[in-house]
Amino acid sequence: MSKSIPYKDYLKETLKDPQEAAAYLDEALKDNDPSVFTLALRDVVDACGGGITETARKTSLNREGLYRMLSEKGNPRFKSLNSLIDSLGLELHVMVKSQEKNYKHSSKELSQ
C-alpha cells in the first residue's frame, strides 16, 4: 500500500517548479476573483519564496504588509504585486484573448 501525503505538502512541493507555479497563478486569475489569486500567490510564496518572512527580506515589502496583501481580502498595489512576482522569479504578461472570445465580445458590441 502506498503512503499518501497531505495535499498542502504535495502542493508546496509541486509549486517549487516555476512552470507549475506560473500555471497555478494563471489558473487562479481565470477565476476573476482577486481573493482566489492572492491566496494562490500566498501558496506560491510559501513554496518558492521560503514563506512570508523570507520573501519580505527579498523584496522592499514588510512582513505585515505581505500578510495583508496575501490575505483573502488583500488588495495589492501594482508596484507591490510586481515586486513580489519578480522575487519569485516570475513575471506578469498580458495576452490577446483567443479569436473565439474576441469574436463573441465584438458580436455583443455590435448588437447593442
Separation of alpha carbons 56 and 77, rounded Å: 16
Which cell numbers hold the place of 97? 484573448
Domain boundaries, the chain: 7-92
Q: What's the whole-model pTM score? A: 0.77
Share of the chain above pLDDT 90, in %: 49
pLDDT at 93 (0 to 100): 86
Which cell numbers hold the place of 16? 517549487
pLDDT at 111 (0 to 100): 55
Alpha helices, DSSP H, located in the chain: 7-14, 18-30, 34-48, 52-58, 63-69, 78-87, 99-111
Angle of helix 34-48 relative to helix 18-30, nearest 10 degrees? 170
pLDDT band at 75 (very low <50, low <70, confident <90, very high): confident
Cβ of 39: how many Cβ atoms within 10 Å?
15
**What residue has cell string 501558496?**
43
pLDDT band at 94 (very low <50, low <70, confident <90, very high): confident
**Residues 6+ positions from 66 with CB-CB distance below 8 Å:** 45, 52, 55, 56, 59, 84
